[in-house]
Structure 1
Amino acid sequence: MDRRQFLQVSGAGTVGLAGGASAPARAAVAPLSAPADLKHWTWVRGTRLDAEWRQLFGQFRDVGITAALIDVDAEALAAVVPIAAESGIEVHAWMITMMEGGFEDEHPEWYAVNRDGESTATDPPYVDYYKFMCPSREPVRRHKEARARRLAGIEGIAGLHLDYIRVPDVILPSALWPTYGIVQDREYAPYDYCYCEVCRGRFEARTGIDPLALEDPSQNRAWVQYRYDTITEVVHGLSQVARAAGVPITAAVFPSPSIARTLVRQDWPRWPLDAVLPMVYNWFYEEGTDWIEPTVREGVTDLGGRFPLYAGLYVAELTPDQLAEAARRALAGGARGVVVFEGAGTSPEHWAALGAVLRA
């Protein structure tokens, strides 16, 4: 799951489409932090009055957070950047990537199809807004790159942040099974994507196999790898957009490489990023905060120093003391900082407990 966590868990909504012309090239991408330094972030959704933004950014600064990943449209984002700068907070454009409604009538072929032949345009899994596009289709990739180009071209923007850069969950985190009345002890057809004609055709051209003819697609390593590769290819295209604009590119991903590959086909240690922000949300995996340290360590080890990892923490299911412990566990596992979901809804008690760790 992502931070939105479905309607029943923490609300929903999507970022509006933002197209636009290519931005002029900027200076070379700067490192997100020096190797010996820590950096702390927060995800923030929704528009606010200028005074509200100033108050929020002041809270972030006071606890040691210096970067905000903000989910608003491009026009609103451009207005927020100078306000954040007053408090020394950098703003990264939070881009909902493969999940996007609004094109079901104009381009129904853009949407991912499950093993039963159902499209997310008309039959989304789990909840009605889970309308994911197919990562194999070139028009979809160009559409995503156009939006990324506009966001990355905003004056003063500090980076491009990818979210929902994946297919729908083939397996949900176990804590959510009761919510939807399902047991996902293996990969089931209604949640297994993408089997559209483009994905099937590309795979069959390479292997001579129609994935729909496989008795158990989950056991065919080439087909599993194909799904990893299509998402990775989308990341490569978006990375080129960010590089051309001279801004870093980051991504929100599932907690560890093994979980990400199994649940949502993300092979994120192989992506061309400047940093990765895994959502190490222990509650969704029915785990305590002690689970965070080894989970973070798995990611850090798999990355092999290619780029830093910042651990995402889900505040809503943590007490202030647990949040402080979660942050300590993440840093002990090798995270270069933590990422709070979400900054606008965190209580003063949580901020106080977290700030004591981040400023230590």
Structure 2
Amino acid sequence: MKTIVIRMVVLMALLSLLVSCNDVKKDDFKVWAWLAGRTTMSEEQLDHYVSEAARAGIDAIILECHGARPEVIGDSASFRDDAAILILEKAAIYAKKYDIELHAWMWTTNRAELSLRKAHPEWYQVNAQGESCADIKLYNREHYRFLCPTRPEVTEYLKERVREIATVEGLTGIHMDFIRYPDAILPYRLQESRGVVQDKVYPLWDFCYCDVCRAAFKEQTGVDPMDLEDPTSDEAWMQFRYDRMSEMASEIAAEIKACGKVASSAVFASPYESKKLVRQDWANFRNHDYIFPMIYHKFYFDEDKWVETATREGVEALRAAGNDAVLCSGLFVVHVPADRIEEFIGYTENGGSDGICFFSMEEMEKREGYVDSLRIVLEKIRL
């Protein structure tokens, strides 16, 4: 009898452990949403969006606090982004109210504020034609103005932006966006809408050839990249650019963590496409807690299952690089019908993602019943 009782106790303990493991696995699949609210969002709007996110079962909001729009931000001597701090302080009230994590979404190399462009035009990237993106509108976009990652003073400037928003009480993390070069090639299905033909990399969109980058590469290799016949096929020049961006991302992430915040970055869809299109080797972004590949699949290919393929490639690339960042697949709500949300979550899970992030809360709001559909799916998979 005593033996039977012992066996039953052991069996119950094992079953309890199994249930616990399953619960942990489901809880670890975190659900996020980007909120592209701009700094002008009212408190009523913040309350509405955060409450809707909570109702849907979303765990964390990534709030755009500085969209690099061409506005004069703060004193040109300090560049303090008071508008970003204010919107985060307001949002933190509602994040606490609805028990949702709040992460600050910070544009990184893409900084178009007029005060910075006026004070430091030399910080901006230069294309293979010798033109600074401080002076030209790439893809006819006023805000497309990218800082050079090779310049230490640029990294210090961005770390200072991190330190100032990290002071916001109730902020969980800081999320870097546009931590890359300008698009050398646009995602394939966006080219027609932007009125460009990009069958190869053209000098207009090939960055960065500023004096600092050229001198650093020449010191490393003895070659001026402006003298390369086909820069895109030169492995050393491509690697130089990958490395400079990875180093910047890693250093800023280290600063985020030093401030006691969760560090993350939004990156292009897959390791291959990221390196090809925007010279972004995100598998080597160090000091990150999360990496969010934006797998907006209809901008690349028609096949929905590419979401799973891109997710798997990202997970494998992180592991091969010895990077322990958690991969969380980003999906564009426009590409994910409400009645197929569960299917797309399945693609990300099958690919090895530890979470999902939807772009965006605003896009959900535009689609009647989307939040309710998401809530039903999340309740089902969390049972």
TM-score (norm 1): 0.87
Match 1:333 to one of 351, 354, 357? 351
**Cα separation, 2, equivalents of 1:240 and 1:50:** 32
> 5 Å matches for 1:245-260?
245-260=259-274
Q: Corresponding residue for 1:110?
A: 123
Give, in angstroms, the shift of residue 348 of structure 1: 4.0
Q: Corresponding residue for 1:25?
A: none
Structure whose alpha-carbon radius of gyration is higher: 2
Partner SS state of residue 224, structure 1: helix
More moved, 282-291 vs 218-227: 282-291
Give, in angstroms, the shift of residue 350 of structure 1: 2.0
Question: In the alignment, does 2:74 pair up with 1:61?
Answer: no
Give, in angstroms, the shift of residue 333 of structure 1: 1.2
Partner SS state of residue 122, structure 1: coil
Q: Corresponding residue for 2:5?
A: none
Q: Corresponding residue for 1:286?
A: 301
Q: Corresponding residue for 2:94?
A: 83
Give the structure with the higher percent helix.
2
Are the aligned partners of 2:96 and 2:170 in contact in 1 as well (CA < 8 Å)? no
Question: In the alignment, does 2:302 pair up with 1:309?
Answer: no
Are the aligned partners of 1:279 and 1:312 in contact in 2 as well (CA < 8 Å)? yes
Structure 2 residue runs without a partner (length 5+): 1-23, 66-83
Q: Corresponding residue for 2:31?
A: 40
Partner SS state of residue 40, structure 1: strand
Are the aligned partners of 1:169 and 1:263 in contact in 2 as well (CA < 8 Å)? yes
**Cα separation, 2, equivalents of 1:51 and 1:79:** 10
Q: Corresponding residue for 2:9?
A: none
Q: Which amino acid aligns with 2:290?
A: A
- Asked which structure has the greater RCO (Cα within 8 Å, sep 6+), the reply is 1
**Cα separation, 1, equivalents of 2:142 and 2:92:** 32
User: RMSD value over aligned CA atoms?
Assistant: 1.7
Q: Which amino acid aligns with 2:124?
A: Y
Q: Percent identity?
A: 36
**Cα separation, 2, equivalents of 1:66 and 1:145:** 27
Q: Which amino acid aligns with 1:45?
A: A
**Cα separation, 2, equivalents of 1:60 and 1:340:** 11
Q: Corresponding residue for 1:4?
A: none
Give, in angstroms, the shift of residue 250 of structure 1: 0.2
TM-score (norm 2): 0.82
Partner SS state of residue 180, structure 1: coil
Structure 1 residue runs without a partner (length 5+): 1-33
More moved, 196-205 vs 133-142: 133-142
More moved, 41-50 vs 254-263: 41-50
Match 2:142 to one of 118, 128, 143? 128
